[in-house]
């Protein structure tokens, strides 16, 4: 383990007044020479130094003394962490003004490599780059946050490098931007193009612009009607049988029902992009007064 990582635990205020003087020398002598002994019952309890801080004090003195730790730590840490930039085969991170900009160099890398990069610059960000349908490549498809936002109200956004370039064009990379003043924990999902045969990990209507059934309204039609359009476009389909809530305002999915044979007279309420060339029809056996997937009579903006 890099020994400089331990220095990140030392702060100026922890060492203030201990670099010299009789008190500091007495403390060092006590740490390195005295045997532990039970304290008299009547004596007030002593304030114990945390174990990691004691080890740091001994290690620092063994090299150049306590004063060196007080001088080195701020220089290594900078304003936020051990560094203001990071580079690996998977991700580059650099501080640009008030934002840390992470450029995804290898969208197929193991998730841990991205997290390692953010940790190196003092950010607790768990980034997953997952296969998604075409219209969400390069987009944040899910995010959970804890902690305060940055002073400017921003936290985490996505973009491109160079800024404004088109995904799929040569030299255009995905980026994630994290505000310098943000503290806390984040789990972020960023969409990438899927490999052949890879299932999408986003929830996207296949009827949206740019998706496989763009321009076609399948909701409220029968399976037979929708399958005719699916075949016309050279696509395949799988089915997901949904169980509507009592008021049709929501739905559930029962794994035990998925083996039922879906008939052409069943109703389609939504079509999702499953993987390249394959869509997923969300169906019920009964015709319902409103769409249970969206709790309304329509699903898409006009």
Tokens of 163: 């800024």
**Predicted local distance difference test score (pLDDT) of residue 181:** 74
The predicted pLDDT at position 108 comes to: 94
Report the distance separating Cα 302 and Cα 283, nearest Å: 22
Backbone φ and ψ of 17, nearest 5° = 85, 0
Count of CB atoms within 10 A of residue 216's CB?
15
- Going from the C-alpha of 217 to that of each of 226, 266, 269, 294, 298, the distances in angstroms are 9, 16, 10, 15, 10
**pLDDT attached to residue 268:** 97
Question: What pLDDT does 147 receive?
Answer: 77
Question: For residue 285, what is the DSSP state?
Answer: S
Q: What is the pLDDT along the chain (302 residues), one digit of tens a residue?
A: 443 333 334 444 444 444 444 444 444 444 344 444 444 444 443 333 333 333 333 333 333 333 333 333 232 334 444 578 999 999 999 999 888 999 999 999 999 999 999 999 999 999 999 999 999 999 999 999 887 666 556 688 888 989 888 887 888 999 999 988 788 899 999 999 999 999 999 999 999 999 999 999 999 999 999 999 999 999 999 999 999 998 888 899 999 889 899 999 999 999 999 999 999 999 999 999 889 998 775 544 43
| Closest C-alpha to 275, from 217, 198, 181 | 198
Check if the beta carbon of residue 156 is closer than 8 Å to that of residue 178.
yes
Residues whose CB falls within 8 Å of the CB of residue 54, separated by 6 or more in sequence, listed in order: 31
How far does the chain reach from its first CA to its final CA, in angstroms?
57
Q: Which residues contact 64 (CB under 8 A, 6 or more apart)?
A: none
Q: What Rg do the C-alpha atoms of the chain give, in angstroms?
A: 29
Q: How far is Cα 7 from Cα 9, in angstroms, rounded to an integer?
A: 5
Contact between 158 and 178 under an 8 Å Cβ cutoff? The reply is: no
Give how far Cα 124 sits from Cα of 130, 146, 172, 179, 289, Å: 19, 10, 26, 12, 47
Cβ–Cβ < 8 Å for 301, 219: no
Q: Please, which residues have CB within 8 angstroms of residue 292's CB and are 6 or more apart in sequence?
A: 242, 244, 245, 248, 249, 250, 251, 269, 284
């Amino acid at each position: 383990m890099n020994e400089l990582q331990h220095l990140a635990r030392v702060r100026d205020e922890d060492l203030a007044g201990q670099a010299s003087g009789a008190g500091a020398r007495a403390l060092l002598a006590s740490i390195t020479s005295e045997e532990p002994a039970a304290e008299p019952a009547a004596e007030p309890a002593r304030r114990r130094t945390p174990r990691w801080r004691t080890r740091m004090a001994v290690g620092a003195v063994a090299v150049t003394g306590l004063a060196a730790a007080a001088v080195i730590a701020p220089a290594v840490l900078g304003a936020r962490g051990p560094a203001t930039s990071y580079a690996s085969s998977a991700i580059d991170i650099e501080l640009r003004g008030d934002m840390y900009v992470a450029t995804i160099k290898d969208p197929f890398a193991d998730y841990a490599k991205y997290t390692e990069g953010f940790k190196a610059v003092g950010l607790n960000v768990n980034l997953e780059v997952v296969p998604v349908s075409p219209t969400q490549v390069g987009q944040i498809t899910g995010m959970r946050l804890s902690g305060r936002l940055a002073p400017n109200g921003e936290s985490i956004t996505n973009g491109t490098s160079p800024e404004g370039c088109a995904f799929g064009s040569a030299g255009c990379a995905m980026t994630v931007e994290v505000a310098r003043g943000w503290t806390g924990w984040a789990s972020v999902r960023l969409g990438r193009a899927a490999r052949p045969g890879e299932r999408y990990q986003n929830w996207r209507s296949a009827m949206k612009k740019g998706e496989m059934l763009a321009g076609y309204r399948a909701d409220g039609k029968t399976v037979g009607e929708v399958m005719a359009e699916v075949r016309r476009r050279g696509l395949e389909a799988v089915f997901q049988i949904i169980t509507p809530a009592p008021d049709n305002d929501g739905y559930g999915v029962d794994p035990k029902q998925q083996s039922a044979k879906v008939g052409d007279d069943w109703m389609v309420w939504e079509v999702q992009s499953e993987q390249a060339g394959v869509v997923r029809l969300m169906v019920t056996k009964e015709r319902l007064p409103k769409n249970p997937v969206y709790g309304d009579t329509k699903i898409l903006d006009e």
